[in-house]
Structure formats: C-alpha cells, structure tokens
Amino acid sequence: MQATTTSFGIEEALEQLGINKTNLGTSTGSEWFSNGEEISSVSPVDGQLIAKVSTTSKEDYEKVMASATSAFKDWRVKPAPQRGEIVRQFGEELRRLKEPLGKLVSYEMGKSYQEGLGEVQEMIDICDFAVGLSRQLHGLTMHSERPGHRMYEQYHPLGVVGIISAFNFPVAVWAWNTALAWVCGDVCVWKPSEKTPLTGVACQKIAAKVFADNDLPEGISCLINGDYKVGEMMTNDKRVPLISATGSIRMGKIVAQAVAARLGKSLLELGGNNAIIVTPDADIKMTVIGAVFGAVGTAGQRCTSTRRLIIHESIYDKVKDAVVAAYNQLRIGNPLDENNHVGPLIDKDAVKNYQNALEKVVEEGGKIIVEGGVLEGEGYESGCYVKPAIAEAENSYEIVQHETFGPVLYMMKYSGNVENALELQNGVVQGLSSAIMTNNLREAERFLSVQGSDCGIANVNIGTSGAEIGGAFGGEKETGGGRESGSDAWKIYMRRQTNTINYTTELPLAQGIKFDL
C-alpha cells in the first residue's frame, strides 16, 4: 500500500487504525495476503490518492473460505453470551477509535465528518444491541397433540454469511450484519465497495485485534476486496448459505437470481425512491428541516434520501418558498470542515448521473427551480462537488420513477385528501422509506394503515432518511424485502429447527394414524 500525505489529519487517522502495511486487501483475521491486482482509493474530497489495496484472487478466496468454514466449527459451539462478550469488546474498540475511523469514512466516502462519526456510532449501537440479543436467541414451545410428547423450536447458526456492502455507508451496514451474525454463531466474509476499500481494511484490523486478544481462530471475520467479479465468487458459492447485499436494484436482481439458483438465502437492501407527503396540517418549519436534510444529507447518496416532496396544492407555494430559501443557505465544500452542509459525490460517474437526471427532467417537461451544476475552482479540484438542485416534476416522469443517487429533489402537488398523495407516493417500484408531515391524527393513522404507505419504513413528522438501531431496517417491492439492525432481524442469520420429544414408552403417530405390527 502506498499512501500519500494529505491534510485533515488523515495520515494520523490511518496510523491510529493500523493501516501502515503493504499488500492489504484479503484477510482471514490477523493474516493478510493477496495475489490480485491493485485498486486505488481516491478521495472525492480533494481527488488525492489515499492508498492502494490489492484485490482478491480466486486462490485468495479459497484460502478465505477454508479459514471461515474451519472457524465456524469452533465459533458455533461457543455459548451465545460468550459470543456476545466478543462483540462487546469489538464495540469498545470502536469507541476508542471512533474519531479516526469516522475521519477515514468522511475522507474516503465524502460524507460530512459529523456523519462519519455518526456512522461509527451506529456500529457501536448495533454492538450494544447484539450483546443484549446474545442472551435472547429464544425459540418457542408448543403443545403436542400426542400425550407424553413435547414440541419446541430452536435456532442454530447458518455458517458463513457473505456480506456485500455499498460505498455510501461503508462501515455501518457491514456492522449491522456482522454484529448480529456473530452473536448468532455465524462467521462473516465481507466484500466492501471497491470505491471505499480502506474503511473495510480498518474494520478488519479492529476486529482481528479483538479475536486475537481472545485466542480465537482465524476466519471468524474475513475480508475480500474487488469489483463485482469478486462478489460473484460468494453469490455462486454453495458454502455461503446467506448473502446479504446492499446496493442498486439492478445489482440486487443479479444477486438474487444467482443465490436462488443454488437455493441459498438472500437479504437484499436495494434502492429507494422516498417521498415526504406534506398535508395542509403540516408544521412547515419541521417540514423544511426534514426535507432539506433528507435531500442533501450525504449529498443525496443515502438509500433513504428524500427524492420526492408531495405537497398539498393549498400550501404548495408556501412550502416551496421555504425549502428554496433553505437551499440558498447551504454551504458546499470539504466535508471535514464542520461548517459545511454538503460534501462531494463519490466520483465523476456519480456526477454524470446527477447531470443526466437534471437534463432528463427538463426534457420530460419539468422545471428547475433551484439550479444545479458542478462546482469548480479552489476547494473543488476533485470535480465531484455539485449543487443540490430542485425540480418541479410529475410523478409519472420516467426520471422521477428511477432513483438518482445524488442531491436532486422533485417537488409535486396533490389535491384533495391524503389518499391522493398516497397514490403518488406508492406509485413507484421502490418501497424503502416514506414520511408524512401532518398534525392531523386521522391523516397520520391513514398513512400508517394497511391502505397507507407501502414502504418498509413509514414515519410521521420526521424525514425519510436515517435508521435507528433496534427497529428493523428495510423495504418492500423492488427494494428487496430485507430487514437488518433490529427487531427479529437476527432470525435471517439462523436456521430454524422443530424438535419433538417422546418421553413415554409408546410411539403414537400424529393425526391418530394406526400402524399396527
């Protein structure tokens, strides 16, 4: 690995995280190796090369799988509360290294430093959640129809869990999966985004230290690196019973088909096209805060980012003016400067997609009311900084029906009652997050009812973006149907078994069937 000297304390952060060796890229824990090609981690903040990481070759992958499958045999028999203790220690290491890891997340991905710290805090929170869960992996007991019999259900670990994560939350989503999988008794193989490989290296080093300090075998936490071809090694591998994949709908459909072809399990967290409904009874101040942060936070690169603002015609102009005024106050620049609201997009391909979206909405008849554009000059040398834009549009526009992973917000009107707004909100193929701004109890309850939002997340008087540990996170329709980070999401990482015990001296058959010999 060859690192360049940068400002913002990045070199110091890398040193604190232990990223100072060569040939990083593939790991079974404390052991690092690679025979693959190199990929560059380039910061969208200033366009500088941070480091180079080696990709995982087929030979490397086989070493990883041999290590993981071997480690599973030991890890699965360790009592769940003891596994929880290891996760607790991992969470403590994250607390100790929160600042340098948050800084690396911000610099490698481009989100604000506060959001980088918040992402690490999500990792800490899921560790806390998992520790408690390690003493609650309970099944059910049921009454048997046969006298002298007892029935119950129990859960056993699956084995190797394959995790494919996206660049926008380069560490938190991995932790959502890993912390739960570990306490369930699984081992994990992680392929981070090729756009943010160093955060993966950092997390692997933190985990490896905890496992080594507890004399645990290599292979409980494994890291592989590379593009979709490396991911395909896992999706096609029968030794990996569960693939958890976060990314685009297009990617998710490919993963789902490959895993289903071998009758494996998929946990998919895919695209969102999230809307906020604003009714005549909305608190305008709260609406502006929720809509603006939802649309421009992480430069619009959250799967829960607010894409559509559906406003009742009676207050449309009032809300529009307030949101536009807030946009005029946004500060765009270095995300490590906490005075800035918006950082860069991840790379120049993302910039092109953003520009294409603005062109297409105008072609389809939309009107730009907050101009976009790529920023140039001092501080914007990476070419990845863009202006958050707003367009008046119709829900039926093709570009509105698709997720643009950038700070483009579409405003539209609805008339009549909240049912008309819900028809617009639900009128897309994605079903991740949704929100309604209203002080009308009937409207709020209608939004949350079986006839209301068809999304996996439905919020009242808060925005669409963000996830709170403890609540199951995920979406419906083409968002994939997966659930992570809370509630009973742990069950996806385990296999369910029904047990019947006969404690009599006879063998009665179910349903009263007679079979006399």
User: Is the distance from CB of 189 to CB of 222 less than 8 angstroms?
Assistant: yes
Report d(CA 243, CA 511) in Å as an integer. Answer: 38
Structure tokens that stand for 465 in this block = 């973006």
Q: Which residues contact 9 (CB under 8 A, 6 or more apart)?
A: 103
- The answer to which of 15-24, 345-354, 448-457 has the lowest mean pLDDT is 15-24
pLDDT for residue 486 is more than 90:
yes
∠235-475-356 over CA atoms, to 5°? Answer: 80
- Please state the rounded mean pLDDT for residues 133-147: 95
**What pLDDT, on the 0 to 100 scale, is given for residue 332?**
98
Q: Could you tell me what percent of the chain has a pLDDT over 70? A: 98
Q: How confident is the model at residue 509 (pLDDT cuts 50, 70, 90)?
A: confident
Q: What are phi and psi of 136, to 5 degrees?
A: -135, 30
Sign of torsion over alpha carbons 267, 271, 275, 276: positive
- Please state the rounded mean pLDDT for residues 145-159: 96
- Please state the rounded mean pLDDT for residues 303-329: 98
Three-state DSSP class for residue 97: coil
Q: How confident is the model at residue 259 (pLDDT cuts 50, 70, 90)?
A: very high
**What pLDDT, on the 0 to 100 scale, is given for residue 6?**
41
- Please state the rounded mean pLDDT for residues 466-478: 94
Nearest C-alpha neighbor of 256 from the set 57, 186, 248: 248
**What pLDDT, on the 0 to 100 scale, is given for residue 34?**
79
Domain boundaries, the chain: 10-270+480-496, 274-460
Q: List, for residues 169-223, the tens digit of each pLDDT value.
A: 999 999 999 999 999 999 999 999 999 999 999 999 999 999 999 999 999 999 9
How many CB atoms are located within 10 Å of the residue 155 CB?
A: 18
10-270+480-496 CATH pick, 3.40.640.10, 3.30.70.260, 3.40.605.10, 1.20.120.80: 3.40.605.10
pLDDT for residue 2 is more than 50:
no
Report d(CA 435, CA 418) in Å as an integer. Answer: 12
**What pLDDT, on the 0 to 100 scale, is given for residue 9?**
87
pLDDT for residue 3 is more than 60:
no
Which of 115, 122, 194, 269 is flagged as catalytic? Answer: 269
Domain 274-460 is found in CATH 3.40.309.10: yes
Q: How confident is the model at residue 22 (pLDDT cuts 50, 70, 90)?
A: low
pLDDT for residue 488 is more than 70:
yes
**What pLDDT, on the 0 to 100 scale, is given for residue 471?**
95
* C-alpha separations of 451 from 92, 181, 419, 447, 448 in Å: 44, 34, 9, 7, 8
Higher pLDDT, 36 or 499: 499
- Please state the rounded mean pLDDT for residues 482-496: 97
How many CB atoms are located within 10 Å of the residue 225 CB?
A: 28
Q: List, for residues 409-462, the tens digit of each pLDDT value.
A: 999 999 999 999 999 999 999 999 999 999 999 999 999 999 999 999 999 999
Q: How confident is the model at residue 8 (pLDDT cuts 50, 70, 90)?
A: low
**What pLDDT, on the 0 to 100 scale, is given for residue 241?**
98
Q: List, for residues 213-241, the tens digit of each pLDDT value.
A: 999 999 999 999 999 999 999 999 999 99
Q: Which residues contact 18 (CB under 8 A, 6 or more apart)?
A: 202, 205, 209
Sign of torsion over alpha carbons 318, 276, 110, 335: positive
**What pLDDT, on the 0 to 100 scale, is given for residue 1?**
40
Q: List, for residues 69-91, the tens digit of each pLDDT value.
A: 999 999 999 999 999 999 999 99
Nearest C-alpha neighbor of 3 from the set 55, 15, 30: 15
Q: Could you tell me what percent of the chain has a pLDDT over 90? A: 94
**What pLDDT, on the 0 to 100 scale, is given for residue 97?**
98
- The answer to which of 309-323, 367-381, 499-513 has the lowest mean pLDDT is 499-513
Active site residue 506: no
Fold match between domain 10-270+480-496 and domain 274-460? no
